[in-house]
Amino acid sequence: MSKPNPQDRFYSKDHEWIKDDGGGTAFIGITDHAQELLTDIVFVELPPIGKKVAAGGTLAVVESVKSVSDVYAPVGCEVIEVNTELENAPELINADAFGTGWIAKVRPDDAAQIKALMSSADYDSLIREEKQ
């Protein structure tokens, strides 16, 4: 069973979450549902600091034993920090996708775009539909 999707952040249909930290920056990761589908994450390719990514552009890559999956930027943004813990412990995403398994801290081009994404309730329904 997936962990509940926290209400303090927004979601993309590609199963990323983004959480505005109030200081003009935001954290991005993949959802617990996404890590469940991937299972066994064994490698994370992190973006370079300063990289600018358009909304829907590739921000990072997560690999399981069998698969390679892009992580997309839910909004246009610039990377200001990455979770270097993932270099040695990619399984943090499996263990805690919404917390210590965060992937990048970014400066959104337009913070208002975040609220245009899905709420946790919308994302709950998306997963329910996918599971049917």
Partner 1 sequence: MKKTPLYEKHLALNAKIIDFGGWAMPVQYTGVIEEHNATRNAVSVFDICHMGEIEVRGPQALELLQFALTRDLAGQKTGRVRLALLLNDHGGIIDDLTVYKMASDRYILVTNAARRESDYHRLQSIRADKKFDCKIEDISDKIGKVDLQGPRAQELLRLLTDTDLDSLGFYFFCETKVAKAEAILSRSGYTGEDGFEIYAPADKIGLIWDELTSAGVGFGLKPAGLGARDTLRLECALMLNGQDMTEETSPLEVTYGWLVDWGKDFAGKDAAEAVRDRGIDKKLVGFEMTGRGIARHGYHVFKGERQAGIVTSGTFSPTLNRAIGLAFVDISCAAAGTELSIIIRDRQASAKVVKLPFYKREKP
27 near 19, Cβ under 8 Å? yes
Nearer to partner 1, 84 or 125 (CB): 84
Q: Per rule CB under 8 A, is residue 131 in the interface with partner 1?
A: no
Half-sphere exposure of 117 (CA within 13 A, CB side): 28
52: left (phi over 0), alpha (psi -120 to 50) or beta: beta
Q: Per rule CB under 8 A, is residue 40 in the interface with partner 1?
A: yes
| Part of the chain binding partner 1 (CB under 8 A), chosen from 3-11, 27-35, 40-48, 49-57 | 40-48
Taking the complex as a whole, the smallest distance from the CB of residue 121 to partner 1 amounts, in Å, to 27
Paired residues of 20 in beta bridges: 26
Q: And the tokens for 80? A: 């200001």
- Name residues contacting partner 1, limited to 58-87 (CB under 8 A): 61, 63-66, 68, 87
Q: Per rule CB under 8 A, is residue 95 in the interface with partner 1?
A: no
Q: And the tokens for 98? A: 């919404």
Taking the complex as a whole, the smallest distance from the CB of residue 63 to partner 1 amounts, in Å, to 6
Nearer to partner 1, 39 or 125 (CB): 39
Residue of 39, 99, 125, 130 that binds partner 1 (CB under 8 A): 39
Residues 19-48: b if buried by 16+ CB within 10 A, e if exposed: bbeeeebbbbbbbbbbbeebeebeebbbbe
Interface positions with partner 1 (CB under 8 A): 39-40, 42-43, 45, 61, 63-66, 68, 87
